[in-house]
Amino acid sequence: MRITTTTGLAVAALLRAKMRSLLTTLGVVIGVAAVIIMQSMGTGATALVTGELSGLGSNMLMMIPGSAHGMGGPNRSAPLFTPADLEAIHRECPAVRYAASSNGRSARVVVGERNRSTNLLGTTAEYFDIRQWGTELGRTLSDDDQRQAAKVCVIGETIRNELFGAGVDPVGAEMRVHETSCRVIGVLEAKGASTFGQDQDDLVLMPASTFARRIMGDDKIGVVMLSAVSEDRIDEAKAQVESLMRQRRRILEGEEDDFTVRDMRELIALMGTVTGVLTSLLAGVAAVSLLVGGIGIMNIMLVSVTERTREIGIRLAVGARARDILAQFLVEAVVLSLLGGILGLLIGAGGSYAASRMLGIPFTLPPMAALLAVIVSVVVGVVFGVFPARKAAHLHPIEALRFE
């Protein structure tokens, strides 16, 4: 029998029981919608996270104390870095363009009656180059500020709004930072919240030397931020810094480093695994609902084969071959599940659009996802349609005709 004739038969049979057909496809609708949302949100979230991380400066490297193979996080016993280390990196690592110290702690900042607990960062001029941060008002920290241990600070948008008021120009104003009076020299460009909901504008930066003298009481450096000359020299920069530090720390051949240099690509890869976990979770939901949907289709097709036993008998009596009956019921199952797939695609696309709007993730619907939805639903139809269709095809003509 021709495939167009078979398809016509299938559609006619399904139209005879519209409501039942629609309800039967529900499982596949949900399954395919989950596949679509998974694809769309997965790509959206990955694009967002990698975009944000590369916004950190993709040439960026970060050196922290402790072995990379330790139990995660900086090792307390591992020695911190010194201003001399920083100078040596500047001097001896040609693949490193910028290097800046970075020490953070929380601190209370006060202006008049208003005060706020914020993140205080002691750093050097090149930090702004590494992070590619500019100012909205005033200027960033300079080498002179560092040399003189000047009592100056650059503040984030949130600090300006909370302590001085939105729209106010605070440059030149005094602000108390943890018992020290500082002059505001600049306001950073607003960056908004990060993917993880952190306010990136809630911070105060001061020269590392001032931070060491006024706040911490020593000039040890917790984190060294670095930037390679170019993206293709990241590995080279990393190797140069590592070998310099091993030399300066007199780490012998075969001994493990007591510091770690990480680059952003590793971080991006890490984020990839996080979104990967989310994606596989959604994939699980999709798989379960497709399974349930498939069983639903199988069930209704079995019912349909039983109900239409006489019809099958009549068809066999006028010359249908087993494979004609098989094709008829298989095509019916596939049409049913394809219908579910198309509905699921529409609902999935609508759902991911709404969700991406709500979560502030860019909306993408990869063409592959649409193709996948169609393929998946056809496969479900075939897999779960084969059993009922075979049952129909193997009926005995007379027994089928005698069926009440």
Chain residues in the site for another protein (CB under 8 A):
1-2, 5, 16, 310-311, 313-324, 396-398, 401
CB of 318 to another protein, least distance (A): 4
102 with 224: CB under 8 angstroms?
yes
CB of 23 to another protein, least distance (A): 20
Cβ-based nearer residue to another protein, 1 or 78: 1
CB of 309 to another protein, least distance (A): 12
CB of 341 to another protein, least distance (A): 28
CB of 330 to another protein, least distance (A): 16
Cβ-based nearer residue to another protein, 188 or 312: 312
CB of 380 to another protein, least distance (A): 28
Type of residue numbered 386: V
Cβ-based nearer residue to another protein, 147 or 310: 310
CB of 303 to another protein, least distance (A): 17
Cβ-based nearer residue to another protein, 39 or 328: 328
Cβ-based nearer residue to another protein, 187 or 327: 327
Cβ-based nearer residue to another protein, 33 or 335: 335
Task: Report phi then psi at 183, rounded to 5.
Answer: -100, 130
Cβ-based nearer residue to another protein, 6 or 103: 6
Cβ-based nearer residue to another protein, 3 or 277: 3
Strands (DSSP E) found in 139-216: 152-155, 174-177, 180-188, 203-207
Type of residue numbered 302: L
Cβ-based nearer residue to another protein, 2 or 76: 2
CB of 394 to another protein, least distance (A): 10
DSSP collapsed to 3 states, the chain: CCHHHHHHHHHHHHHCCHHHHHHHCHHHHHHHHHHHHHHHHHHHHHHHHHHHHHHCCCCEEEEEECCCCCCCCCCCCCCCECHHHHHHHHHHCCCEEEEEEEEEEEEEEEECCEEEEEEEEEECCHHHHHHCCCEEEECCCCHHHHHHCCCEEEECHHHHHHHHCCCCCCCCCEEEECCEEEEEEEEECCCCECCCCCECCCEEEEEHHHHHHHHHCCCCECEEEEEECCHHHHHHHHHHHHHHHHHHCCCCCCCCCCEEEEEHHHHHHHHHHHHHHHHHHHHHHHHHHHHHHHHHHHHHHHHHHHHCHHHHHHHHHCCCCHHHHHHHHHHHHHHHHHHHHHHHHHHHHHHHHHHHHHHCCCCCCCHHHHHHHHHHHHHHHHHHHHHHHHHHHCCCHHHHHHCC
Cβ-based nearer residue to another protein, 11 or 378: 11
Indicate the Cα dihedral angle 101, 107, 112, 113, nearest 10°.
160
CB of 45 to another protein, least distance (A): 50
CB of 12 to another protein, least distance (A): 9
What does DSSP say about strands 114-123 and 203-207: parallel, antiparallel, or unpaired? parallel
Distance CA 296, CA 114 (A): 64
Cβ-based nearer residue to another protein, 16 or 76: 16
CB of 361 to another protein, least distance (A): 50
